[in-house]
Structure 1
């Protein structure tokens, strides 16, 4: 019996819906979700955080940390390293009789990396791609942090900077404790290998055993030790940097030994004015500071030499002369070698008689972190009260740090803002919407298809020669219209040829139109660099389509429709941000982020990598 048309249509619709549902369950986020779908009207979002106990200062910091690519890479590397080493490496504490039981437990917890593991799990949950509005809680991470410090996090003192400080310091301590545990385990392996080698040498004393640094049980672990140190130094804690301060006397120009300190975040004081810049705030920390009424060590020693020289001239006994000559000799030797050394057995003149000098204090960053966290201190403390400095602080999207020879460029990835007064208010965060490899492989299909086409079907035609518009060459332009030459052109070379029409000056719209008209008059087949329509069977490009900003190579006829459409899709500039207020999330632009000058409180910059380009869209 013949089926009714309505029954057939119902069966077809049901089968289609079932196929779509199965595809979406077993292979989501590829075609329906679309990583960079420009024609999809579905509102995209990220995972939010619930605020049940005034936790906005915690939520804003965690959302900002979730957008830092180098931090996520470090967490993956560190936990994978601990998994490969085994738990026995980090459960053993150095044997010390003076080490108390409480201190041993604290060191063991640092080696195990409890907070590091909890933060990775928290950031992984925040970086999920929800297919619906999703809100989670930061309770698990808070419990792990409270267990690590054996105290409760107070909700009365709501300061995002203090919470960030304790989290980063804890992560840094766990990293160094784990590195020391690995070095200790490696030293034990080397000692065991040396003991076994000595025993075998005693058994066969007639034979000479030669050991090399090959990493074997009978070899020296020097190469492994050096390699592990290089790995730890290369993939160290991304927030850790080093700063150096040095003092120079303006009278004798003696420079003190530099004092190095490590930091995980930088605190910059906001000046009390209506508006300022982030560079001016850095000047308050890194600029040369002049201090008056300072007693220089070298000038103090020289003053002691002058005083004792006068005493030597008035000395009457031989014992006094010998003593003074010996003291003067020691003082002059200290002046030449190390004026900061403490000299014992010498009676110095009274401190009131030592001249005071003017010194210059220099501060500079010697080790630049991969991720720099900047805290803008807006607190104004008086004798009776405290208030908030509401000055505008303009901050750039790309931040240069360092001197001329050691300049580093950082890119803004996240900020935390505070709205309200010094005693009450609300925190919210801004986070750049992007993904770094190894979390994605941008243009994997296009690069594979282009490399395969170039290797299997090499073009026999010569490369096209672009000529000035003033002297057209019909023969040279005609060689551009062959089908083989068109098939061998990649997307990059096609776009470069389309934009560099006139040598010596940038391409304009007029020159592009002149180039197209010249090629259409001089050849039978038309090549339109600004066409978006697919090629016909004769290898020609139709000029009826819209004009994108760059040319797209002709997709293969055997390629799937989804892949070809994704190759033809234009990429938006990375100007997408998320504005996150606990569970409320909306999209904004870079201009909106840079406009938060009165509210900006924490800034997160990541060191730029010239060979690593983020993709747009989470």
Structure 2
């Protein structure tokens, strides 16, 4: 007050008011951080301490820990497990009928609790995996490690055999895991087929490919074979480097030399007989030639012919025409007719020199975004582009070492934290689904709407600078995008999520 009075000619009453206001402002400035902590329950501080969960390696189980961490980094998979868990809980609480027609109530329904001790459960692997994955994606204030034994024990119980640590292949383990999950889901679908109020989610890893041959000369194609796929397996080329997109494109086509195309052989026989004016052809042979005319226009190039006609074509040899010498080039095509919601790419790096196997060190250039084409193939041989699907990278499993031994490490994309949900702090996986504009067929729209309406999401601290977790069993570090994308020489499995 004295300083203000000496510096100004203000009256004493005004000086008192100015002094009080200045003192109040300084006090608020000093205690504001403490007030914010009290008001917002220290949420900012807890988010800054956010970390993820590691998995304990029993010995040589890095192929298991890395595979599970890779799956945990995919929000669509987390949401799928959440929906299956909800269905199982609903089945426990509602009466239904078994195959004999007996009423099943909550009292005599097969137990789904005690996951390691419930072999009769409809979906034991779903339950154990849900328990583990939810732990892996939960928010922790300090570094925590848990054991994957709940999943290992369940798999051993299902297959009634011990899981050998000498197996140590992340691709084989993941494939077994996905195949078992799909089988359990099929059992659930069959069990709940008469329950209209249950909305079973689609299996997010399921895709479909169509394989066939196309003759380069006659343009005819072979019979289609359709195959269900969970993992896209690619052979890494033996060269210094190659883009992932090019490997995917080249995997769809392969040229086969010296192929005996049935249509080319039939057309050659018919042309030759017309040139000969059917000289010396018996009535039975003329009937065979009439049948071959029908095959020449609409049969596949590998059609199974009736025995008599097949022998005629194979043994045909008149003048200078020998059918056995008619061979040509065909293209082996493997096109995708159904792209999955979650695309897992396995980069097979095994090379065989005729004596031993070695590891292919080719640098596979992959990115955080990839765009693939979904095709439609008709039985007539026409192939048309159906649509283009965009994917975002969520996890990478790398392998260092030799072909026979080494170590697996997982890079898992960080996700947001949802504030103000049922749990005070939980992983933001549902909001990724809630913000979808197009593909909502696999998810509960009502649940997604509630999540997007009630949830407040916050980026994990340092998520922009370090978007990935680098997880080596129980050792956890933060990682930049450039570090992840530079694992070109060691990338073994890539996990992409449909945008």
Question: TM-score by structure 1 length?
Answer: 0.57
2:133 to 108, 123, 135: 123
Match of 1:359 in 2: 330
The answer to whether structure 1 residue 604 and structure 2 residue 495 are counterparts is yes
Q: Which structure shows the higher strand fraction?
A: 2
Stretch moving more, 55-64 or 277-286: 277-286
What secondary structure, in the 3-state scheme, does the structure 2 residue paired with 1:376 have?
Answer: strand
The answer (yes or no) to whether the contact 1:305–1:328 under 8 Å persists in 2 is: yes
What secondary structure, in the 3-state scheme, does the structure 2 residue paired with 1:383 have?
Answer: coil
What secondary structure, in the 3-state scheme, does the structure 2 residue paired with 1:313 have?
Answer: coil
Which whole-Å deviations, capped at 9, do the CAs of 1:340-371 have from their partners, x for residues lacking one?
Answer: 25335434233673311221223221111111
Cα 1:123–1:570 shift into 2, 3 Å: closer
What secondary structure, in the 3-state scheme, does the structure 1 residue paired with 2:412 have?
Answer: strand
Cα 1:421–1:441 shift into 2, 3 Å: closer
Shift of residue 405, structure 1, vs aligned partner: 5.8
Shift of residue 88, structure 1, vs aligned partner: 8.2
The answer (yes or no) to whether the contact 1:69–1:436 under 8 Å persists in 2 is: no
Which sections of structure 2, spanning at least 5 residues, go unmatched? 1-34, 102-117, 316-321, 375-384, 422-426, 432-455
Match of 1:57 in 2: 63
Which whole-Å deviations, capped at 9, do the CAs of 1:428-477 have from their partners, x for residues lacking one?
Answer: 1110110488954999xxxxxxxxxxxxxxxxxxxxxxxxxxxxxxxxxx
2:230 to 257, 264, 272: 264
Match of 1:332 in 2: 293
What secondary structure, in the 3-state scheme, does the structure 2 residue paired with 1:579 have?
Answer: strand
What secondary structure, in the 3-state scheme, does the structure 2 residue paired with 1:298 have?
Answer: helix
C-alpha separation between the residues in 1 aligned to 2:169 and 2:345?
14
The answer (yes or no) to whether the contact 2:234–2:348 under 8 Å persists in 1 is: yes
Q: Which structure shows the higher helix fraction?
A: 1
The answer to whether structure 1 residue 576 and structure 2 residue 467 are counterparts is yes
Cα 1:162–1:335 shift into 2, 3 Å: same
**Segments of 4+ moved more than 6 angstroms:** 87-91, 108-111, 569-572
The answer (yes or no) to whether the contact 1:290–1:360 under 8 Å persists in 2 is: yes
What secondary structure, in the 3-state scheme, does the structure 1 residue paired with 2:205 have?
Answer: coil
C-alpha separation between the residues in 2 aligned to 1:89 and 1:370?
32
C-alpha separation between the residues in 2 aligned to 1:90 and 1:375?
42
The answer to whether structure 1 residue 162 and structure 2 residue 172 are counterparts is yes
| Matched ranges for 1:368-387 at <5 A | 368-387=339-358
The answer (yes or no) to whether the contact 2:207–2:339 under 8 Å persists in 1 is: yes
2:221 to 249, 252, 255: 255
C-alpha separation between the residues in 1 aligned to 2:154 and 2:461?
44
Q: In terms of Rg, which structure is larger?
A: 1
Count of aligned pairs between the two proteins: 395
Match of 1:390 in 2: 361
Shift of residue 83, structure 1, vs aligned partner: 3.8
Match of 1:342 in 2: 305
C-alpha separation between the residues in 2 aligned to 1:299 and 1:308?
14
2:153 to 143, 146, 151: 143
What secondary structure, in the 3-state scheme, does the structure 2 residue paired with 1:407 have?
Answer: strand
Shift of residue 90, structure 1, vs aligned partner: 9.5
C-alpha separation between the residues in 2 aligned to 1:575 and 1:259?
44
C-alpha separation between the residues in 1 aligned to 2:169 and 2:463?
36
| Matched ranges for 1:43-122 at <5 A | 43-85=49-91, 92=99, 112-122=122-132
| Matched ranges for 1:213-232 at <5 A | 232=200
C-alpha separation between the residues in 2 aligned to 1:156 and 1:385?
19
Match of 2:389 in 1: 408
The answer (yes or no) to whether the contact 1:308–1:324 under 8 Å persists in 2 is: no
1:295 to 237, 245, 260: 260
The answer (yes or no) to whether the contact 2:400–2:408 under 8 Å persists in 1 is: yes
What secondary structure, in the 3-state scheme, does the structure 1 residue paired with 2:484 have?
Answer: helix
C-alpha separation between the residues in 2 aligned to 1:601 and 1:167?
17
What secondary structure, in the 3-state scheme, does the structure 2 residue paired with 1:53 have?
Answer: coil
C-alpha separation between the residues in 2 aligned to 1:250 and 1:111?
53
C-alpha separation between the residues in 2 aligned to 1:262 and 1:166?
14
Match of 1:176 in 2: 186
The answer to whether structure 1 residue 431 and structure 2 residue 416 are counterparts is no
Match of 1:486 in 2: none
C-alpha separation between the residues in 2 aligned to 1:242 and 1:442?
26
The answer to whether structure 1 residue 314 and structure 2 residue 280 are counterparts is yes
What secondary structure, in the 3-state scheme, does the structure 1 residue paired with 2:290 have?
Answer: helix
C-alpha separation between the residues in 2 aligned to 1:582 and 1:441?
23
The answer (yes or no) to whether the contact 1:60–1:429 under 8 Å persists in 2 is: yes
Which whole-Å deviations, capped at 9, do the CAs of 1:194-240 have from their partners, x for residues lacking one?
Answer: xxxxxxxxxxxxxxxxxxxxxxxxxxxxxx5xx98xx55xx311111
Shift of residue 391, structure 1, vs aligned partner: 2.1
Shift of residue 256, structure 1, vs aligned partner: 2.7
The answer (yes or no) to whether the contact 1:244–1:364 under 8 Å persists in 2 is: yes
Shift of residue 268, structure 1, vs aligned partner: 1.2
Match of 1:586 in 2: 477
C-alpha separation between the residues in 1 aligned to 2:134 and 2:461?
29
Cα 1:49–1:243 shift into 2, 3 Å: same
| Matched ranges for 1:540-579 at <5 A | 573=464, 575-579=466-470
The answer (yes or no) to whether the contact 2:54–2:475 under 8 Å persists in 1 is: yes
